[in-house]
Amino acid sequence: MKNILFASTALVAFGGAAAADVAISGSAEIGIFGGKSAAGATTEMQFHTDIDVNFSMSGETDNGLSFGASIDLDETDDADAFTATSQGGETYFVAFGNARLDMGDTDGAFDAAMIEVNLVGGSINDAETAHAGFNGNAGLDGTFDGQIARFSYTTAGFTGHASVELDDSGAGDAVFGLGVRYGTDLGGATVNVGAGYQSTNSATGAANTGRTIWGVSASAAMTNGLQAGVNYSVQSRDAWAADAKHTAIGVGYTMNNIGLGLNWGQTDGAGGVAGAKESGWGLAATYDLGGGMVAQFGYGDNTTSGDQGNSYSLGLAMSF
């Protein structure tokens, strides 16, 4: 996205403070979408429009401590978005050297470390990831109010993460997370690997509700435009009869203005039910028209309990 920057000196009340920057960026989508759920319900072809505006603010103290905040206006539709117990796109950070603290509507350690497999392109209405085989590696984020604090430290290609999401009601234990990611340039390819873990002993304050998730992932982006990625995760809950084991694979290719991405995923033991399976695949095809406009096509195909479903979209994505 393009950013419009506004440099503003600090208020007189904070005399001596360094100047801060305010950036505005945005995106919009227009097109059509439709499909059919695995249960057989049809989504008739219809128009899709969406607009998103993001405000980002950053500054630096006299001793080199950087800080900032951002808000995604597209995520603030919830009437409770600005209350103390609900997150609606607000993020905050404080950083010094290689250390950084993020709070608000941010990823937990598991999600921050893991690598998603929708590697190239995208589609309006996210049709290529709207299938049962794609989970976005959210882990246990959002178990409570969605307010997450994540500490990160980066050194020599490694980034370590530790996160916590509290239960404001006091009924349940917090969600704790750990994660690590490593990236390196091998000359002909850039390789990233990541692993994460999250757990809570009592997700709702009731008995028999403890849950954990762990996962590993890897990706490679080659100089010839090819990309590939894989992730694997296992989620357990005390009340489940079986672990939910998720496997996902993605490939992508970019050449000049064209981008193609294909992802596939499957969960064995879906919903904690032994023998239950959910799977799906998605395709994204894009053409960059330049100037921040991209033509996008997306398709997703679902298989849930043996039933088939699909989703599709076609349109234009704009970034500002």
Residue 225: which CATH number?
2.40.160.10
pLDDT at residue 210 in the model:
87
With cut-offs at 50, 70 and 90, classify the pLDDT of residue 76.
Answer: low
Total domains, the chain: 1
pLDDT at residue 264 in the model:
97
Q: Which residue has the higher pLDDT, 153 or 83?
A: 153
What percent of the chain has pLDDT above 90? 73
Q: Give the predicted TM-score (pTM) of the model.
A: 0.88
Task: Count the neighbouring beta carbons within 10 Å of the beta carbon of residue 315.
Answer: 22
Q: Which residue has the higher pLDDT, 239 or 50?
A: 50
Q: Which residue has the higher pLDDT, 263 or 5?
A: 263
The per-residue pLDDT of the chain, averaged, comes to: 88
With cut-offs at 50, 70 and 90, classify the pLDDT of residue 89.
Answer: confident
Q: Does residue 203 register a pLDDT over 70?
A: no
Q: Does residue 172 register a pLDDT over 60?
A: yes
Mean pLDDT of 189-200: 97
Range of the domain at 168: 4-319
